[in-house]
Amino acid sequence: MAQEATPSSSRYQFFILGLWTQPGQPGRPTAWRISLENPQTAERKGFTDLAELDAFLAAWMAERGVVNGER
């Protein structure tokens, strides 16, 4: 049986995404919190909303020369 090719580390990046709720004050909605961890470096970054996560990923990809998800 042929062995599948392993993805190139320069082409693939894996993150662990964590989502949880943080109770709000009475009369206010529950807030969602987000964390993104690089399992290779154990670096973790927290976000208070999807806009922050989106901005982080856009900057991260721009630093690596990724445009619209492609190299």
pLDDT for residue 29: 80
Higher pLDDT, 27 or 4: 27
Inside any domain, residue 36: yes
Instruction: Report which DSSP code applies to 65.
Output: T
- pLDDT over 70 at 6, yes or no: no
Inside any domain, residue 10: no
Inside any domain, residue 3: no
Inside any domain, residue 45: yes
**Distance between CA atoms of residues 20 and 8, nearest Å:** 31
Owning domain of residue 50: 16-22+29-63
**Distance between CA atoms of residues 48 and 65, nearest Å:** 26
Q: The pTM is what? A: 0.68
What average pLDDT does this structure show over 44-49?
94
Inside any domain, residue 56: yes
Inside any domain, residue 42: yes
Confidence of residue 30 (pLDDT cuts 50, 70, 90): confident
Inside any domain, residue 58: yes
The number of distinct structural domains making up the chain is 1
